[in-house]
Every structure is written in C-alpha cells, then in structure tokens.
Amino acid sequence: MKTARPVRLGPRSVAALLLVSLVGLIGIGWPLFADRAAAVTNHAADAPWLFALLLPLLIAVVVATIADCGMDAKAVAMLGVLAAVGAALRPLGAGTAGLEPMFFLMVLSGRVLGPGFGFVLGAVTMFASALLTGGVGPWMPTQMLAMGWFAMGAGLLPGPDRLRGRSELLMLSAYGFVAAFAYGTVTNLYGWVTVGGIGQAISFVPGDPVHENLVRFLAYVLATSLGWDLGRAVLTVVLTLTVGGTLLKALRRATRRANFEAQVTFEAPEEASPGEAPHRTYITYEAK
C-alpha cells in the first residue's frame, strides 16, 4: 500500500528548496573562496543576514508546497507536533558525547512524510530547540540548514513503497550514520572559519588555495569533533534499529488516518421532479 505524504515535491517546491540550499551553501562556504583582503575573520557577523534570508525562504518552501499540493491544516499541525517533540528530545543528550536522540526522529519523519516536509521540519525543529535550550547564536542558521538537509535526505531515499521491514531499517540506519557525520562536517565548517587560537596545521588561512584549507579542515574535524559525531551517529543507528520500526508504523498510521491530500469533489444535485423537495449536494473525499 502506497503511503500518502502531506508534503510532496512539486515544481515550485523543488525551486524553493534549490534556492534556499544555494543561499545556504554560499553563506556557509564563501570564506573558502575569499581572498586575503576579505573580512573572513568576521564571518560570524554575516549570521544575522543569513538568518534573515533563511526565514523567508523557509516560508517560501511551505507556500510553494501549498501551491503544489494543497498542504492543509493537518499537515501544519503534524509539523508543529513533530517539531515540538524533536526540540524536547535534543536537551536529553546535549553536552554528552554528541548523544542527540532528535536525529533519529528526523530520519524517520523525513522517510515517512517526504523530503519537502523533512526539510521544513528539520529547520523548524532546530530553531525551536535553540529557543528551548538557549542555544541562539551566530551558528543557528547553519544548524537549521544542516538539519533541514539531514531530514530531507531521508525523504529522498529509494523504495518508500516497496522497501519495508528490517531492510528498510538497515537502510535508514546506514543513512543516519553517514548523515550524522555530514551534519557535523557542515556545522564544523562554519565554526572552523571563526575559531581562533588553534594550531597552524589545522587553522583556517584566509586566501590560501581551497585544497590546502580543506586539508587543514579535515585535520581540524579529526582533532576536535570526530568523537562527538561518532556518538551522534551510533545513537541514531541504535534508536533506529530498536524503536524505529514502531515509530515508522505510528507515523504511517497517522498519515493514513489524516488522509492527507484528499481530493474534495462536489456532486451537483439532480433536478427534482415537480412537487419533490430539492435534492442535496454531496461532498465526497477521494484519497490519492
């Protein structure tokens, strides 16, 4: 049985996601291509501008999705519930070897509810958790983008209608493991450019060739965050394999019962015979 998705990727949604991703990549990675005269040492100062661009673009993704498939109040309500749960899960392991249980929820939600929903959910969840934990800072736009990409990637995995059971959980676990490191790499790239007082062998050097800075960046990741990212990846795998099956069924059941993307049709009444009461107009709902 094909699982309905409250947020599908239509032409407008794809265009909006490409635009926000392009803006995010430029905002995060531009110092690598700047010359020595650029103010890359003040890279943190561009965070408010990136955040100011990110919020309307996230709204544009939602609006584009509504235009493509008519996302209704039920999908918005599910977005709010899952974002609240994810934001509440994050503090449970924050500060402890990278153990962040919200990541496995983002993987499963993106898988069931689609890439468009996953991107918006990931970004909104990170924003809500930053407000909840007091983690608002220049790093927040980068975290929102990285989490959006993390959840969106789960929705782009193959075989949502054919691959189920243990094989699906293994695929999601493998994705969660790799994507947890990718998330850490993206967020580290922002911090690496702004951090100071580290060894010359692993520090960012403005104006140096990109390949030389990337070598230093790899050394920086290995020296500072490998253990943290590993803890995040392992916990995501463990939770996906242990409780992932139950949560997948619950999310899919909720999606079916909500009957997202139901098509509303109006049946015109037949003409009444003389002396008969007027026939009623019937509204029918047909799920895709």
Tens digit of each residue's pLDDT, the chain (288 residues): 454 444 567 788 788 888 888 888 887 887 777 776 665 555 556 656 766 777 777 777 767 766 666 556 777 788 888 888 888 887 776 556 567 888 999 999 998 888 888 888 888 898 888 888 777 777 788 888 899 999 999 988 886 666 778 889 999 999 999 999 999 898 888 778 776 556 677 888 877 888 888 898 898 888 888 888 898 899 999 999 999 989 988 888 887 776 555 544 445 555 555 655 555 544 444 544
The phi, psi pair for 283, rounded to 5°, reads -110, 125
Residues of the domain holding 112: 11-260
Does the residue 1 lie in any domain?
no
Residue 176, C-beta contacts closer than 8 angstroms, at least 6 positions apart? 103, 104, 107, 154, 233, 236, 237, 240
The residue among 137, 148, 19 whose CA lies nearest residue 83 is 148
Please report whether residue 55 resides in a domain.
yes
| CA angle (191, 193, 198) in 5-degree steps | 85
Domain tally, the chain = 1
Residue 42 belongs to some domain of the structure:
yes
Q: Which CATH number covers residue 217?
A: 1.10.1760.20
Strand partners, 267: 282
Residue 280 counted as domain residue? no
Q: Is residue 281 part of a domain?
A: no
Are 234 and 258 in contact by the 8 Å Cβ rule? The answer is no
DSSP state of 158: S
- d(CA 135, CA 140) in angstroms, rounded, equals 8
